[in-house]
A = this chain, B = another copy of it.
């Protein structure tokens, strides 16, 4: 077992929110962020103690974007190591009926991106594989 493997885990739930035109929402982390400042990411975050993953995801997305979303299905996982732990990401596909976003102070910009252009966005490293998989899913007609 190496040192990285010994780090404890935490779970972060992330939403790939699509609008009516099948564009998905990415947010830019503010320059004050401890990790990945200035990098783009998907909305979402950690579960509060005792909170279910779907409620946590709807709450986090609302806090970060002002959007009400409908969760559709799980799509992928990813992992990153930060300081003292490993974060496991669970990505859920979601839809929303509006594209009017209201940011919190965690982020300083947002954009709606066509799925096949996600790879051009300067995403934090741990989100690059899910962007790739989204692009493949569009090509395969799975989205």
Interface of A toward B, CB cutoff 8 Å: 1, 5, 8-11, 49-50, 52-54, 70-79, 86, 88-92
Contact = CB atoms under 8 A, between A and B. Distances in A.
A51 B79 CA distance: 20
B1 A71 contact: no
Contacts of A90: 11, 74, 77, 88, 90
A81 to B, nearest CB: 10
Contacts of A79: 73-74
B49 A50 contact: yes
Contacts of A8: 54
Given A10-B52, A74-B88, A88-B90, 6 more contacts: A11-B52, A74-B78, A74-B79, A75-B77, A77-B90, A77-B91
Given A52-B10, A53-B88, A5 B74 contact: no
A78 B54 CA distance: 15
6 contacts: A9-B52, A9-B53, A10-B52, A49-B50, A74-B79, A74-B90
A33 to B, nearest CB: 23
